[in-house]
Amino acid sequence: MTFQTVQIPGVTVIDIEPYHDSRGLFARTCCAREMQQHGLHAMFVQCNISFNHKKGTVRGMHWQVAPATECKLVRCTSGAIYDVIIDMRPDSPTYLQHFGIYLSAENRRLLYIPEMFAHGYQALCNGAEVAYQVTDYYAPAAERGVRPDDPAFRIKWPLSVTEVSEKDRSWPDFRNLNLEQTA
């Protein structure tokens, strides 16, 4: 695996190093020892998948606060997505900045997302599936979110948005939240 940092501290793009032979390929997508050597949490307690029927579907932007903050390791296993994260760490020099990356079954790229980052993505094709591992259990009372179209972040989704859940559409404008609601 190769690890590439991006402009937002703690965020890492991971590329596999496939071994090819007549059967196909083999590659690691997670190695606790290598991840720890790069300063990443690697003890995942839950693995999830999400499947998206329609191209243009947007899921997110969610994160969890203490005591259930979580890191995520995200990979697109079928189709393609545009994955977006927002730095929600108030003491970070990149607070409220976002980063987007294309993940696909073809590029097999992974995105490591530290604690306190809002996360969401857009399906770029019908049938896009995403697998992600998390370092803490889902805790509804600790969940926070912002709308994928919140004007405070100006996220430019690559496609017209075709589907968003009622929950994701209903988050209040970020500028109207107080700090207790976000941290």
Architecture of the CATH domain 2-182: Sandwich (2.60)
Q: Taking 90 as the threshold, does the pLDDT of residue 67 lie above it?
A: yes
Amino acid identity of 59?
Answer: R
Q: What percent of the chain has pLDDT over 70?
A: 97
At 43 the three-state DSSP class reads coil
Q: What does the domain layout of the chain look like in residue ranges?
A: 2-182
At 45 the three-state DSSP class reads coil
Distance of CA 84 to the CA centre of its chain: 6
Q: What would the mean pLDDT of 114-135 be, rounded to a whole number?
A: 98
pLDDT of residue 175: 87
Q: Which class for 78: exposed (0-12), middle (13-18), buried (19 or more C-beta within 10 A)? A: middle
Q: Is 62 a residue of the active site? A: yes
Point out the catalytic residue in the list 19, 132, 137, 138: 132
Distance of CA 2 to the CA centre of its chain: 18
Is residue 120 within 8 A of residue 171, CB to CB? The reply is no
- Per-residue pLDDT tens over the stretch 148-175: 999 999 999 999 999 999 999 999 889 8
Cα angle value 108/65/81 (rounded, 5°): 25
Point out the catalytic residue in the list 20, 53, 62, 137: 62
The pLDDT-based confidence of 138 (bands split at 50, 70, 90) is: very high
Q: Taking 80 as the threshold, does the pLDDT of residue 180 lie above it?
A: no
- Per-residue pLDDT tens over the stretch 41-58: 999 999 999 999 999 999
